[in-house]
Structure 1
């Protein structure tokens, strides 16, 4: 790993927001709303931004919309925080094109998810991530078996971590034992050798235990709504102030749970709209929240002090 990548990895500590994509009521992308959301996040102290992830509803965005969102993100962020562009696909050819697109538009890194639906074998996964890294931009693996049907176990993650240009993993396996083993067997030795491998949580509710085990932070969904709180919690934990970090963890835990009462990002978008941060509806096939899901989510937001519309 060269000096510039080492310095970049040092910046990948803290709270990053997996940005929602604001939509108008007619379903068109709200590009002005996207600009406002980016600036709201940075003004509130978030450490980095991740556009075009699953939370950004990329399965339903077309190439032209994605291109424009990337350009706006780079334009608005202006280097103030690192930007990691979602560039995953279950086609290696398409994924490579998306990683190139991220690089050409000036992203700091690309987030590449395990290929979904195909359920590739180990040799296929290695070739897939080799192709991503060969583009020449830092690549973070996104491991989320609940979405993809394919977990990356520790032994395979070790092999992927050896690929030059693979700088870390967004771990959303939900398995804290696996997360701990990745940190203990890959991240800690790599950091000691001056060759960092970043491990961030992909689950808001597991940020505290992941950092306690030696992890680096979170790519958060609920920070779309509460970036200042998530940044403060993560900062406290990374600085070893576990009393304050634990206090914030428990304060926010109900939201971390209830924000997934239905498929992400439907609940967080509803919560943001109610709280006065207009991001519009989701796109089909994600429909509006079921009536039974609204009361518990609204109750959690009111407990956090939001005055809801």
Structure 2
């Protein structure tokens, strides 16, 4: 087992959950997807996240999917499993299942009912107690959860909850939050900061002190190359690479449509057998597919100009 730590960096790809056209889990496509992510340089994987359709799976399906992913990864990189749930009993069960199968850690998003700073801190302190010493990622995604987590609360969680080893930064606007957390002395111990939001701000996030990406953009090689260029001090190269993918990043970022776009692209890349979303959820219209196809062709053209 490869365990998640405060040193996590690079690209933790948020994996889609592949389905057949009839809605059944597609474990063969799962194997291809995991192989592709690892071959393109993923330093970690995250499954059953918000873009992984986790609420649409039964507990047995969740276990089967996690087990298949972990078997395919075979300890080569840490695998983080989303265990966000309304209550701690279910969170504990999901965590025990994932860690028992060999996961490296879990990810927890706050429930939308939290309002005050004390409520947010207490929730994470109690969640950590419920899952024992399992390392976890704090998912800060207020655009979806509706929960605003101030820098001061993150600082307190890091100080008082040692099993919090990573922040999944998805606040928007949130660049100042990264700067504040990376300011010398802000955190009593350094934790990993990996960024989401489809990678739409990745060059700026890296420049502000993030350690990498934790998101599921359909071209993880973009994230790999932008992170590598940034770490090499070549920001011009990072931005040139990012700009080549930006139209597709923008298109995939559409609320309510992004996962359908992502799965369509993964199917076109030969990774998924089907672009199906489990109901409720619909695929792309023919007009949308044509738009994506055009963006892909233009993206290929830009990438060739960079080589």
Question: Same fold per TM (> 0.5)?
Answer: yes
The count of corresponding residues between Structure 1 and Structure 2 is 294
Aligned partners of 2:222 and 2:242 also within 8 Å: no
What residue in structure 1 maps to residue 84 of structure 2?
A: 88
* 1:143 matched residue in structure 2: 140
SS of residue in 1 equivalent to 2:201: helix
Contact 2:36 2:271 in 1 (8 A): no
Residue number among 235, 238, 248 corresponding to 2:241 in the alignment? 248
Return the offset for 1:190.
Answer: 6.7
- Give the corresponding residue for 2:305: none
> 2 CA distance for matches of 1:34 and 1:120?
38
1:71 Cα offset (Å)? 1.1
Q: Which runs of 5+ in 1 are unaligned?
A: none
In the TM superposition, residue 149 of structure 1 has moved relative to its aligned partner by: 1.4
Distance change >3 Å, CA 102–CA 67, structure 1 → 2: same
Q: Report what 1:68 is aligned to.
A: 64
Instruction: Work out which of the residue numbers 264, 277, 298 in structure 2 matches 1:270.
Output: 264
For the Cα contact (< 8 Å) 1:45–1:228, is it kept in 2? yes
Contact in 1 for aligned 2:175/2:208 (Cα 8 Å): no
How many Å apart are 1:295 and its aligned residue? 3.1
Asked if residue 175 in structure 1 is aligned to residue 160 in structure 2, the reply is: no
Query: Is the Cα contact below 8 Å between 2:32 and 2:271 reproduced in 1?
Result: no
Structure 1 window deviating more from structure 2 (213-222 vs 225-234): it is: 225-234
Instruction: Indicate if the aligned counterparts of 2:11 and 2:41 stay in contact, CA closer than 8 A.
Output: no
Question: In the TM superposition, what is the alpha-carbon distance from 1:94 to its structure 2 partner?
Answer: 2.0
Paired residue for 1:16? 12
Residue 60 of structure 1, CA deviation: 0.6
Counterpart contact for 1:269–1:279, Cα < 8 Å: no
CA displacement 1:79-102 (0-9 Å, x = unmatched): 211211111113233223322322
Q: What is the deviation of 1:20? A: 0.3
Judged with a 3 Å threshold, the aligned counterparts in structure 2 of structure 1 residues 80 and 29 are, in CA distance, closer, same or farther, namely same
CA distance in 1, matches of 2:140, 2:5: 21
Cross-structure match for 1:228: 221
CA-CA distance at 1:24 after TM superposition: 0.4
Match of 1:239 among 232, 236, 259: 232
Cα distance, 1:189 vs structure 2: 3.4
Matches of 1:86 and 1:105 in 2, distance apart?
14
What are the equivalent positions in structure 2 for 1:125-136 lying under 5 Å apart?
125-134=120-129, 135-136=132-133
Distance of aligned partners of 1:148 and 1:284 in 2 relative to their CA distance in 1, 3 Å threshold:
same
Mapped contact 1:50–1:83 kept (Cα < 8 A): yes
Which one of 27, 34, 38 corresponds to residue 38 of structure 1? 34
Distance 1:304 1:226 in 2: 11
Instruction: Tell me the distance in 2 between the aligned counterparts of 1:181 and 1:283.
Output: 39
Q: Does 1:201 align with 2:195?
A: yes
Contact 1:19–1:51 (CA under 8 A) maintained in structure 2 = yes
Specify the SS of the correspondent of 1:164: coil
Question: Closer, same or farther in 2 for the Cα pair 1:81/1:271, shift >3 Å?
Answer: same
